[in-house]
Amino acid sequence: MERTFVAIKPDGVKRGLIGKIIERFEDKGYKIVGLKMLHPTCEMATEHYKEHVGKPFYAGLITYITSGPIIAMAIEGQNAVANIRKVLGATKPEEAEMGSIRADFAQTMDFNIIHGADSVLSAEREINIYFQPHEICTNWQNMLEVLTQ
C-alpha cells in the first residue's frame, strides 16, 4: 500500500465541493486514513511549498492557500500517488482529462480546487506537515474485523 497527501484548497471548500471530491477517491477504492479541516498558517504553507521559493507565483500561492480553510487528507491504496494525480487531473484545468476533478470543477490554474503530492517522498513530507502520527488511522483490517463480529 502507498500513501499520498491531498488537500482540497480554499476555493473547493468555499464552493462546497468537499463531499463530491471525497466521493471520487472512495469510488476508486482508496481509503482515507487521515482527514481534517484546518486553516493553514503561513509557516505550514511555507513548508509545504518550499520547493517554489523564488518563483514568480510563490507569494500568490502562499496567500491563496492561507486565505481560508482546506481539507487535508492522507489517502492510502495501490499506486496512490500516481493514480490519485490522474483523478485530480492536470494542474491547468483546460489541460485536465475529462472526468477528472480539475476538468469537472476548476476554471483556472490559480484556483484549481485541489492539491496532490507528486511523489511518495513529497506525500510523506506533506502528510507530516498537516498530521501528527496519531491522527493517521492505519489499522483498517482490525477495525473491519471488530465491526463484522
Q: Give the whole-angstrom CA distance, residue 118 versus residue 45.
A: 16
Task: Find the catalytic residue in 39, 48, 52, 115.
Answer: 115
- Give the residue among 10, 28, 124, 134 at the shortest CA–CA distance from 71: 10
Asked if residues 73 and 136 have their Cβ atoms less than 8 Å apart, the reply is no
∠ CA 136-139-145, nearest 5°, is 145
Helix (H) and strand (E) counts in the chain: 8, 4
Q: Is 48 a catalytic residue?
A: no
Q: What residue has cell string 504553507? A: 45
Helix, strand, or coil here: 116?
A: strand
- Give the residue among 50, 68, 53, 83 at the shortest CA–CA distance from 9: 68
Active site residues: 115
